[in-house]
Amino acid sequence: MTTSAQKVVALTVDGLVKTFDVSAPWLNRVVERKPRQFLQAVNDISFTVPAGGCLSIVGESGCGKSTVARLVTGLYAPTGGEIRFAPGRSGAPLSAQMIFQDPYASLNPRWRVKNIIAEPLRELKLRNTAAEITERVEELLLTVGLSVSDGEKFPHEFSGGQRQRISIARALASEPEFLVCDEPTSALDVSVQAQVLNLMRRLQDELGLTYLFISHDMSVVRHMSDRIAVMYLGRIVEEGDTEELFAHPRHPYTQLLLQTIPSIDAPKRDQELVGGEVPSPLKPPSGCTFHPRCPLATVRCSAEVPEIRRLSNGTRVACHLVTDA
């Protein structure tokens, strides 16, 4: 994988905001005298992904990480901010594809696998003849660890891990340089997770791919990432190089997340679990949104939103209590 020091940037996200109108229907609001309601799923986040690298966004359910994935791939339109692929690059634009969380839901159950993988080749006219399309489909099946004969089967004939391999083959069919991976292994058991993650690492090295990886599992993102961004209620609260973040987490939320990872060396160690529930994004807490669950919170935390600051080691953190020491 490419180090985070590499200067060639594949993706720049600047001040990204996404707000959803979740109001009740107009007549209900009039009769019940209710105001309109808005949910700010993503709240002014910025990050860059270096070419050939992997940035992972991690956090609990509802933090907004999957919304970021859909914004980057154009499935949602941003309310504010900018998303720029390969800024400053001349020539053809950088191409991106997405790997979804549930491969069975994202694959057409009525199509044979060979047709699912061939569709991008036909639509984008990446191959000229039927023979070339067939050859490329067979090549992609072998690349992801399936057999040529698997192309004749339907999605329901495969296991979850095999279906995710089909999804990866379909994504690769359009010859992307950038892959957005929205929890691609969360529905798989641990042994199959490892196989799919190792496949993705191998493909990254062989094809020079760049990943934006979305997950709630800290152990998974450690295996995949150059850098990790930790999200909480729509904001990035900490971002840093993977090993630095695991060795020296600065934000209290990051510290608590890391304590939930099972340890083989100390399976019976005391763990300080994350207390309480994630607040409703419809009514987020004032100040630092993590303060109701933070064991270190002060009066300032409940009154003032912390700005995200870059420390001398390259880590970015949004916490009033963190100093650059």
∠ Cα 241 242 244 (to 5°) = 70
**pLDDT given for residue 2 in this prediction:** 43
**Averaged pLDDT for residues 75-95:** 85
CB neighbour list of residue 254: distance below 8 Å, 6 or more residues apart? 230, 237, 238, 245
Same domain, 228 and 291: yes
Per-residue model confidence as pLDDT tens digits over 219-253 = 889 989 999 999 999 999 999 999 999 999 999 99
**Averaged pLDDT for residues 105-110:** 91
Residue scoring higher pLDDT (264 or 16): 16
**pLDDT given for residue 214 in this prediction:** 96
**Averaged pLDDT for residues 298-313:** 94
In this predicted structure, the answer to whether residue 266 has a pLDDT above a threshold of 70 is no
In this predicted structure, the answer to whether residue 55 has a pLDDT above a threshold of 70 is yes
**pLDDT given for residue 271 in this prediction:** 55
**pLDDT given for residue 275 in this prediction:** 61
Q: Which burial class, exposed, middle or buried, applies to 139 when counting CB atoms under 10 A from its CB (0-12, 13-18, 19+)?
A: middle
Q: What is the mean pLDDT of the chain?
A: 90
**pLDDT given for residue 138 in this prediction:** 97
**pLDDT given for residue 88 in this prediction:** 67
- Rounded Cα gap, residues 221 and 300, in angstroms: 32
Per-residue model confidence as pLDDT tens digits over 182-197 = 999 887 888 899 999 9
Closest by CA to 230, choosing from 140, 292, 290, 167, is 290
* 214 in Cβ contact with 65 (< 8 Å): yes
> Domain limits at 101?
96-176
Alpha carbon dihedral 54, 260, 257, 165, in 10-degree steps, equals 30
- In the numeric block, the tokens 């990446």 are attached to 126
Please report which confidence band the pLDDT of residue 274 belongs to, taking 50, 70 and 90 as the band edges: low
Single residue among 176, 202, 218 that ends a domain in this structure:
176
Same domain, 211 and 306: yes
Please report which confidence band the pLDDT of residue 111 belongs to, taking 50, 70 and 90 as the band edges: very high
Beta bridge partners of 40: 19
Same domain, 208 and 148: no
Same domain, 273 and 141: no
- Rounded Cα gap, residues 159 and 175, in angstroms: 25
Residue 325 covered by a domain: no
**pLDDT given for residue 99 in this prediction:** 94
Please report which confidence band the pLDDT of residue 94 belongs to, taking 50, 70 and 90 as the band edges: confident
Count the domains in the chain: 2
Same domain, 89 and 158: no
∠ Cα 66 70 76 (to 5°) = 130
**Averaged pLDDT for residues 65-91:** 90
Same domain, 278 and 193: yes
Residue scoring higher pLDDT (235 or 277): 235
* 196 in Cβ contact with 184 (< 8 Å): yes
Same domain, 126 and 257: no
Single residue among 137, 158, 176 that ends a domain in this structure:
176
CATH number, position 30: 3.40.50.300
**pLDDT given for residue 262 in this prediction:** 67
In this predicted structure, the answer to whether residue 139 has a pLDDT above a threshold of 70 is yes
**pLDDT given for residue 213 in this prediction:** 97
Beta bridge partners of 76: none
Residue 191 covered by a domain: yes
Same domain, 277 and 232: yes
In this predicted structure, the answer to whether residue 268 has a pLDDT above a threshold of 60 is no
**pLDDT given for residue 272 in this prediction:** 57
Residue 247 covered by a domain: yes
Its pTM surpasses 0.85: yes
Same domain, 190 and 141: no
- Sheet with 9-21, strands from edge to edge, namely 38-50, 9-21, 80-85
Looking at the chain, the whole-number percentage of residues with pLDDT higher than 90 is 74
**pLDDT given for residue 215 in this prediction:** 93
**pLDDT given for residue 4 in this prediction:** 42
Beta bridge partners of 57: 214, 229
